[in-house]
Every structure is written in structure tokens, then in C-alpha cells.
Amino acid sequence: METSTDSTDRAVDPGAPAAGTAPGTARGFTRRALLGTAGAGLVIGAGAGAAAALVAERRDAPAGAGAEPGTGRGLGPARVAFHGEHQAGILEPQQARVQLAAFDLAGGVGRDAVRALLQRWSRTVARLAVGEPADEFENQIALDAGPCSLAVTFGFGAGLFEKTGLADHRPAGLEPLPAFPADVLDPARGDGDLFVQIGADDALVAVHALRVLQRQAAGTAALRWQMSGFARTPGATATPMTGRNLMGQVDGTNNPRPDEEGFAAKVFVAAGGGQPDWLAGGSFLVLRRIRMLLDSWEALPVDRQERVIGRRKSDGAPLGAAADAGERTPVDLDARAADGSLAVPADAHIRVAAPVANGGAAMLRRGFSYHDGLLADGSPDAGLLFLAFQADPRTGFTPVQRKLARGDGLSRFLRHEASGLYAVPPGAPPGGYVGQTLFG
């Protein structure tokens, strides 16, 4: 059986334990806007889809000052609508910077206080999304910047429902994720009662929004953890291209597209179907902080890296494809090399993660890279902040990750170090707030 690496390619991580231990349409999208990629369900997806690659024009951006070189698009004035059928930050083009955070409710805080916080947060984000200052706790960090495609997404952790007396409204899809082989999860950097994703094309704009929301939450909810990530800045390439992750792989080729048949059923919760009515039009979000063992990975020759992934590193084309093929060339899992072996090795990431190998399971990924300096042993504390939106993690993330944990050659170069699962309510109607369908 063809394998992608031999024992000399195994990554070394001295601190890790041994393996086996612990209904909707695209909001605001048109076919003209979508330049993105088509789908497969991957967990890290290096070279095949961990970072969502909905590469599209920034909507509502006035032409003129501040435009990207060669595009005429303005990064600063670009806006993403806050109100809509689905929350912002799911379908829109991925921003260059992200702040992720989770909050825990203070002791004794009830449903009324959470409702008031969500109303306050929604009013604030609606103002920031159009470039207006916050109506309270404005700190002027981003005073002279535009909204820069600011998009904020809110999610509810499992603990929120019990603490607010809404246990009977907790979605079945929020059942805890199972333990996966070789997970080394830090509980202090995962879960949480309230989750916030803040994306923007300017780091100060994202940090400003987080700081304002944090101060507005005082007395109701306290910050549990915070993470920062980045992706390619719009305009960094001469033409729109799928970005690369810290392994150097083209990352985002295979992602479900809003113009594909069945897209909404993969990403958004439909009314009925065993999920509560308040979540219809919403989604579930799986977060994983995945450290890449970059020293071990970079010690591999490029051809071995390609066999681990199943794609050429230079252009993202699948192994076995013609020389002039590109990243969107369909993968031929039956293709053979000159010696008769499988062109895409049996444990290559794109083979193990392919929908055909996982009952058609798919997720919409919006991954961001992170680099937080060095660990005690001198290795990089760097990797992927994996975010995946899906209609039900029990049929999306969980079966795919189980398959990858058992047979993905890439897994020896990764460490899953934090995890979170959140119910993402539908978007706020005009004049309303996120979570209104649950809190009334």
C-alpha cells in the first residue's frame, strides 16, 4: 500500500502524549461576487481547504481613496452589513485579520442580563460596521480608519443554556465533541458561554471592536480566552488567489460554494430536523487551535511534503495532474504514477478527507494562521485557527476528524491544542439583535 512518508518523516514533539490519549441563501452574494472555490470537507485542509477561500469583492465599498493597487477597491471604506438572514462573518470574503474570544457568564447572571448584553453588542457592532464610533466605551483606537470590512459573529456555548434556564432550548448539535486520538486540549483556551469572531482587514479595527465589546460585557461576562490570527491581505497578489498557510500550502481550494446545489443544507440549520426552531437560519461553529510542527515539516523535502498533502506545492494542483493543471483541477483518486503506484498516496490528506471517503460530509472553513512566538523548547507556537461552519457537527466535523485522526499522513505534523463548539444564531433583523429568536 502506498504511503506518503516513512518512519524518518515522523514529526517530533517531545511534550505531546502518545497517540491514543486523551434554510437559507447566501446573504448579499451574487455569482459576480464569487470568485472562490468548490467543496470538500477537510479538517486542516492544508493545500485543500482549511481556510475558507471565498475570494470576492468587498461589498458596499465606495470607489476612490484607499483603493488597493490595481483593483480600484477601497479597503478602508469597505463594509459588511450587520443585519441579515445570516450573521456576518460566515459567507463574506475572509478578512486579513481576526480576533477570536470567548466569555463566561458571571455568577448569578440570568436571562435578562444576557439579553441586555446581546442587545448592547448588536447596537455597537451595527455602528462599527458602517464606520461609526461605538455609542459607549469608544476608545478611539481605530478613530481614523474606516470599517475595513468589519464582520462580527456571535455564538452560544453549551454552558449558556443551563446558566440562563434555557436547557430545554439547547440544540442537540451542541453535544460535546468526542475525544480524538492525540488531542492535547487545553480546557482554559476552549469552550466558553459566549463566542465572538471579529474579522477586519485592519488589525486595529478588529482589536478596537473586541476591546469595546469586552468593556460592555463587564459585570455580565468575563473574557475566558482570546486568540489572534491573520490571512493574506486583499491586494497582496496581482490577481485574487487562494492564500497559503504556514506550511506553505495553497489552502482553501476545496470549500463549499454558496452557488452550489445543497450548499445551505451543509452550512445552515433548517427548520425542523431535530434542531430547535430558534436556530433556523443559524449554524454550528467548530473551533480548533491546531499547532503545526513546522520544524519537522520544513525538514521534509518538498516532494515528500507534496505526498503528505496530495498536491503540488507550487500551484496546488493534485498529484498526477498534467503539468499545466491548477489548484482547481479535479482530483483523480484513481490516477497512477509511472511506476503504477497511486499518484495521490493512500494516506495523503486530500484522499483521506475527500467527501467520497466521508459520506459526503462537508463544512465551510474560514481558517486563519497564528504565530505566537516560541515555546519553551524553541519550536514555533504557530499554526492554524481552524473555524468551520456546518449544519450539524455530528454529521460534519466529527466523522471527518475521526477519519483524519486514524489515517491522515498530515496528522503527524499537527497538534490539536484547543477546541470549542458553538451554536451560531441566525442574523439580526433590522432594528433587532443577534440571539433575539432565543431570548425574545
The residues that are catalytic are 251
**Residue 262: what residue type?**
G
**Residue 362: what residue type?**
A
The Cβ-side half-sphere exposure at 284, using a 13 Å CA radius, reads 29
The Cβ-side half-sphere exposure at 326, using a 13 Å CA radius, reads 5
Quick check: helix, strand or coil at residue 89? coil
Cβ-Cβ contacts under 8 Å for 378 (sequence gap 6 or more): none
DSSP character for 413? G
Rounded to whole angstroms, the Cα distance separating 112 from 96 reads 35
> Measured between alpha carbons, how far is residue 179 from residues 42, 58, 84, 414 in Å?
18, 39, 35, 16
Residue 176: how many other CB atoms lie within 10 Å: 9
Rounded to whole angstroms, the Cα distance separating 202 from 97 reads 6
Cβ-Cβ contacts under 8 Å for 279 (sequence gap 6 or more): 171, 269, 423, 425, 426, 437, 438
Backbone angles phi, psi at 378, to 5 degrees: 90, -5
Q: Report CA dihedral (87, 91, 92, 96) to the nearest 10 degrees.
A: 100
Give 3-state DSSP helix, strand, coil % of the chain, rounded to 5: 20, 20, 60
**Residue 405: what residue type?**
A
Grid coordinates representing 207 are 482589536
Longest alpha-carbon distance in the chain = 68
Rounded to whole angstroms, the Cα distance separating 436 from 41 reads 31
- For cell 477546541, name the residue: 419
Give the pairing type, strands 283-292 and 414-424: antiparallel
DSSP character for 383? E
Q: What Rg, from alpha-carbon coordinates, does the chain have?
A: 21
Rounded to whole angstroms, the Cα distance separating 76 from 421 reads 32
Rounded to whole angstroms, the Cα distance separating 157 from 104 reads 9
